[in-house]
């Protein structure tokens, strides 16, 4: 390498460094903000722990979650190796709570993911097409808005009958309208921006405008909104199980455990409150992480 090229590369290097120092990329800014947000980091860790425990439940759980024992019914915490006691059929609470995390996380995430893809897509279509298509889609959503979410979820899964699949359908239906609204609002806003106009003027096809320009900008607000629905979904799904509409026994599920243990509050009040604590921690974690992400990503939706 000659002196001249070194000089040149140094120069260009210096030139490149300057603007970089001023304008960091969006995602690096987000990452930087998150790194100093200890509350959010802590709850991300909490979610990761719950998820890992749920995924590797067979390895983590000390006992078989479905093994009943008439001798060890409703024993207190720490009784003969049952760290968190036993339930009304003598099953180990800790193991059931770990296995129950599988169902709760699944019911927290799956309806939101499904509703995000369906509702988000509908919103983009409505926002981009405008006119009567928008009218049709958004007014239909307005009708679903006329039901409180608990009422709609309960009524749908109540008529269809219990079970995980029906609960999943009910929750997805509940979450589609709000997500559709958020994505429609974002799409309408972005559609009229200059860069979309420029893309169209330069001959981009409608599909490529949607995929390259609209979707990328709509994704962030929709993602943040969806993340705030996860905790709602966990609470609602556990609520459905609590009413006997979600998971069927003997599957371990926090809502169902809370419901069956309710009969035993006079015998072992502390044990009976445990599944609710699990639901609370999971829902709180998702709520706070969603808030932290919203702040880090600087989105107001």
Partner 1 sequence: MWLYAARRILLAIPIALGVTVICFGLVYLAPGDPVQTLLPPDATQADVAYLKQVYGFDKPIPIQYLKWLSRAATGDLGTSIQTNRPVLTEVTRALSHTLIVSVGAVIVAFPLAFMLGTLAAFYVGRAPDRLATGISVIGVSVPNYWLGIVLIIVFAVQLRVLPATGMGPEGSDSFDVTRWAQLKYAILPVITTATVPLGIIMRSTRAAVAEILTQDFIQTLHAKGLGRIAVLRHAVRNALPQVLAVMGLQFGYLVGGSILIETIFTWPGTGFLMSKAILTRDIPLLQGAMLILALCFVAINLAVDLLQTTIDPRIKRG
Residues that bind partner 1 (CB under 8 A): 139-140, 142-144, 146-151, 154-156, 158-161, 231, 235, 238-239, 242-245, 258, 262, 265-266, 269, 272-273, 275-277, 279-280, 283-284, 287-288, 291
Q: What letter would DSSP give residue 214? A: I
**Alpha-carbon span 72 to 82, nearest angstrom:** 10
Nearer to partner 1, 94 or 152 (CB): 152
Minimum distance of partner 1 from residue 235's CB (angstroms): 5
Minimum distance of partner 1 from residue 71's CB (angstroms): 25
Minimum distance of partner 1 from residue 261's CB (angstroms): 9
Give the three-state DSSP class for 78.
Answer: coil
Other CB atoms within 10 A of residue 214 CB: 22
Nearer to partner 1, 193 or 262 (CB): 262
Q: Distances from the Cα of 68 to the Cαs of 96, 149, 184, 261, in angstroms?
A: 11, 36, 51, 15
Nearer to partner 1, 217 or 291 (CB): 291
Whether the bond into 250 is cis, omega within 30 of 0: yes
Q: Give the distance, in angstroms, between the CA of residue 9 and the centroid of all CA atoms in the same chain.
A: 47
Nearer to partner 1, 210 or 245 (CB): 245
Minimum distance of partner 1 from residue 249's CB (angstroms): 15
Nearer to partner 1, 18 or 284 (CB): 284
Six-digit token string for 157: 């899964």
Nearest to 123 by CA among 176, 166, 87: 176
Minimum distance of partner 1 from residue 240's CB (angstroms): 9
**Alpha-carbon span 190 to 250, nearest angstrom:** 49
């Amino acid at each position: 390498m000659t002196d001249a090229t070194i000089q040149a590369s140094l120069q260009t290097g210096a030139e490149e460094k300057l603007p970089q120092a001023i304008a960091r990329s969006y995602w690096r800014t987000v990452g930087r903000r998150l790194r100093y947000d200890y509350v959010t980091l802590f709850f991300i860790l909490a979610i990761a722990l719950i998820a890992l425990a749920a995924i590797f439940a067979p390895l983590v759980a000390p006992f078989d979650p479905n093994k009943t024992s008439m001798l060890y019914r409703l024993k207190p915490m720490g009784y003969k190796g049952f760290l968190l006691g036993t339930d009304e059929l003598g099953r180990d609470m800790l193991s059931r709570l770990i296995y129950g995390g599988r169902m709760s996380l699944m019911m927290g995430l799956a309806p939101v993911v499904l509703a995000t893809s369906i509702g988000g897509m509908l919103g983009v279509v409505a926002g981009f097409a405008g006119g009567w298509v928008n009218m049709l889609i958004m007014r239909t959503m307005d009708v679903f808005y006329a039901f409180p979410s608990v009422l709609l979820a309960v009524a749908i899964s109540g008529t269809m009958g219990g079970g995980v699949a029906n609960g999943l359908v009910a929750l997805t239906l509940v979450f589609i309208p709000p997500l559709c609204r958020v994505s429609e609002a974002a799409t309408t806003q972005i559609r009229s921006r200059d860069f979309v106009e420029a893309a169209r003027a330069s001959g981009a096809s409608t599909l490529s405008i949607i995929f390259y320009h609209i979707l990328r900008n709509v994704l962030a607000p929709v993602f943040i909104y969806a993340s705030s629905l996860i905790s709602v979904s966990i609470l609602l799904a556990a609520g459905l199980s609590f009413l006997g509409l979600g998971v069927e026994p003997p599957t371990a599920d926090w809502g169902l455990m809370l419901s069956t243990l309710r009969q035993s509050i006079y015998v072992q009040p502390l044990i009976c409150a445990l599944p609710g604590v699990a639901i609370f921690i999971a829902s709180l974690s998702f709520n706070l992480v969603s808030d932290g992400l919203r702040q880090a990503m600087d989105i107001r939706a």
